[in-house]
Structure 1
């Protein structure tokens, strides 16, 4: 098995929205804002190669939305999914599975692209199975008013229409073995959105958790640092508390999807609670 970080692009969002009720004087220490109060964010996917399987975890914003849409998110830099797949010798046609932590546009937008004549949409990964879960699918296709703007039909429905959509069973509690041969489990959390899925991967005697939107950046590690976007912020805090303890007790490494600068982090217990220990690149930890 090999793991590859795939930066799909960078964008900016309002720092206050990203940190909810946490005062700016605190969050700007780790996530400094520009003159418009925007902080830098990434859309970092994780590519898992194992035998004939090539699994992409989340796939960024994509490029099919119009200029007005992208104008709200201050895109910057030259990273793209295609460019960074190519860096490791892959193209989209090689992907066998696209695992979607949830169906907000910044996590699944890259799954769907325009047809050649722009008359409609098609899967960007024509040989892949798309993986979500039935509870979250229903949540996304029958959205509540708070999340409606994040669940875009053009990002979601073509997966089903193509016949490439698959559902993971949702366990009543604990983890679910997505692909036992790959030593990959899934943690389900509900604070940010219904049944968000966090992959847990055993790799080179380490355990890596794809933190998705439970802990989007290194600055969000403290338990009460919860995004304003979360639908159930008190539940997020409860889930984070349990999750952080699990990470410290088992020496898990966090893989950040939205941190523009840090790929991996370890945690430590302090007098103030669980905090960041060190940040690493994949290259520093695994030597490539």
Structure 2
């Protein structure tokens, strides 16, 4: 995608198959299954594909995929892993390496977004996969990552932050790491969840991350069972849809198994799309 002067692409970060109930929460299967694929085990495919941005001479990643060799056999089975990360190969195809990534924007730090930031050597030591990148994270999210509560400790693991700690840049409210790309704290899915807005030469896009994880979550009341603060997700979706459903702006996805991006009219109708 060319968005003004911003070049946007997607890297293959892995694929999970999660229980339909976790992805659609209290919504009856009879409703959501009409909008999103599901297999006989009630598992739905979810991509974990980092958004790759080139702008103003910088190489930027949004979230990091599930990495390689970071999950145990039990986790592999429980998360329905169908594919691990191909980020390295995709960067090589662009004649780049992990060392060429300048900025990483983390919408939040759940395992399926952050695993790819850290690698594990045969000796058992962990290391930063993108050693030259500044990693932007909302302050509340970073605090909870390091001191998770009884619920969040299931997804915030010390192995995912210890080796990147000196690269992390925190913010509160909002930040514009590079002119035209803004991170805005929303909460909802997690306490420190953020969305990312893009603007260049009159062209606009938004990545709502996990408060709008797939096109099937367009109903503002449809939120995942992973959301720690579901009412915050609902209110934020409502406000953002009112702003961005204009028929011209793109909604970008990290998890969707069908679309990379879509445009929606003020009435919520699909205007344009980019398929995987």
Fold conserved between structures, TM > 0.5? yes
Q: Is the 8 A contact 2:10 2:49 kept in 1?
A: yes
1:265 aligns with 2:262: yes
Name the counterpart of 2:88.
82
Q: Would the alpha carbon gap of residues 127 and 176 (structure 1) be closer, same or farther in structure 2, given more than 3 Å must change? A: closer
Q: Please give the secondary structure, in 1, of the residue aligned with 2:92.
A: helix
Mapped to 2, the partners of 1:78 and 1:149 lie a distance apart of: 20
Q: Is the 8 A contact 2:189 2:210 kept in 1?
A: yes
Name the counterpart of 2:177.
178
Superposed CA deviations along residues 118-146 of structure 1, whole A, max 9, x for unmatched, are 23111011221221122211122111222
Runs of 4+ in 1 over 4 A off after TM superposition: none
Q: In the alignment, which of 110, 113, 138 is matched to residue 116 of structure 2?
A: 110
Mapped to 1, the partners of 2:205 and 2:255 lie a distance apart of: 16
Mapped to 2, the partners of 1:240 and 1:251 lie a distance apart of: 18
Q: In the alignment, which of 58, 62, 65 is matched to residue 57 of structure 1?
A: 62
Name the counterpart of 1:220.
217
1:231 aligns with 2:228: yes
| Per-residue deviation, 1:79 | 5.7
Q: In the alignment, which of 147, 155, 166 is matched to residue 160 of structure 2?
A: 155
Mapped to 2, the partners of 1:126 and 1:80 lie a distance apart of: 18
Q: Would the alpha carbon gap of residues 7 and 119 (structure 1) be closer, same or farther in structure 2, given more than 3 Å must change? A: closer
Superposed CA deviations along residues 232-262 of structure 1, whole A, max 9, x for unmatched, are 1111111110011111248321101100121
TM-score (ref. length: structure 2): 0.91
Name the counterpart of 2:184.
187
1:207 aligns with 2:204: yes
Query: Gaps (5+ residues) in structure 2?
Result: 1-5
Q: Is the 8 A contact 2:18 2:46 kept in 1?
A: yes
| Per-residue deviation, 1:204 | 5.8
Q: Is the 8 A contact 1:57 1:98 kept in 2?
A: yes
| Per-residue deviation, 1:178 | 2.3
Mapped to 2, the partners of 1:89 and 1:5 lie a distance apart of: 15
Mapped to 2, the partners of 1:278 and 1:159 lie a distance apart of: 38
1:67 aligns with 2:73: yes
Q: Which stretch has the larger CA shift, 13-22 or 199-208?
A: 199-208
Mapped to 2, the partners of 1:243 and 1:95 lie a distance apart of: 29
Say what the alpha-carbon RMSD is for the aligned residues.
1.9
TM-score (ref. length: structure 1): 0.88
Query: Gaps (5+ residues) in structure 1?
Result: 283-288
Query: Number of residues paired by the alignment?
Result: 270
